[in-house]
Amino acid sequence: MMKKVLALLLAAVMVLGLTACSSGEEAEESTAAAQTTAAQEETEAAAETAAGETAEGGETAAAQEGERTTFTVGFDAEFPPYGFMDEDGEYVGFDLDLAAEVCARQGWELVKQPINWDTKDMELSSGAIDCIWNGFTMNGREEEYTWTVPYVDNSQVFVVAEGSGMETKADLAGKVVGVQADSSALAALEDEENQENLDLAASFASLNQFADYNTAFMELEAGSIEALAMDIGVANYQISQRGGGYEILGGNDPEQYLATEQYAVGFLLGNDALKDTVEATLMEMVEDGTFMEIAEKYADYGLVEAVCLGK
Partner 1 sequence: MSMATMLQLLGSGMGKTAAIFFLTLLFSLPLGLFFSFGRMAKNGLIRGVSKFYISVMRGTPLMLQLIVVYFAPYYVFGIRIAPWYRFVAVILSFVLNYAAYFAEIYRSGIESIPRGQYEAAQVLGYSRVQTFVKIILPQVIKRILPPVTNEMITLVKDTSLAFVLTEVEMFTAAKQIAAKETSIMPLMIAGLFYYIFNLAVAVIMEQVEKRLNYYR
Distance between CA atoms of residues 293 and 296, nearest Å: 5
Q: Could you list the beta-strand ranges (E) of the chain.
A: 70-75, 84-85, 91-92, 109-114, 131-132, 145-147, 152-161, 176-180, 206-210, 227-231, 246-248, 259-263, 266-268
We find the least distance from the C-beta atom of residue 15 to partner 1, in angstroms, to be 8
Distance from chain centroid for Cα 180: 11
We find the least distance from the C-beta atom of residue 66 to partner 1, in angstroms, to be 15
Amino acid type, 17: G
Smaller CB separation from partner 1, 81 or 250: 81
We find the least distance from the C-beta atom of residue 274 to partner 1, in angstroms, to be 14
We find the least distance from the C-beta atom of residue 62 to partner 1, in angstroms, to be 12
Could you list the residues that contact partner 1 (CB under 8 A)? Answer: 2, 5-6, 9-10, 12-14, 16-21, 23-24, 27-28, 35, 46, 49-50, 52-53, 56, 60, 72, 77-80, 84-89, 111, 113-116, 118-119, 122, 125-128, 212-214, 217-218, 238, 241-242
Measured between its terminal Cα atoms, the distance across the chain in Å is: 67
Query: For 93, phi and psi rounded to 5 degrees?
Result: 140, 165
Exposed, middle or buried, 126 (CB in 10 Å: 0-12/13-18/19+)?
A: exposed
Please compute, for residue 44, the number of CA atoms within 13 A of its CA located in the half-sphere on the CB side: 6
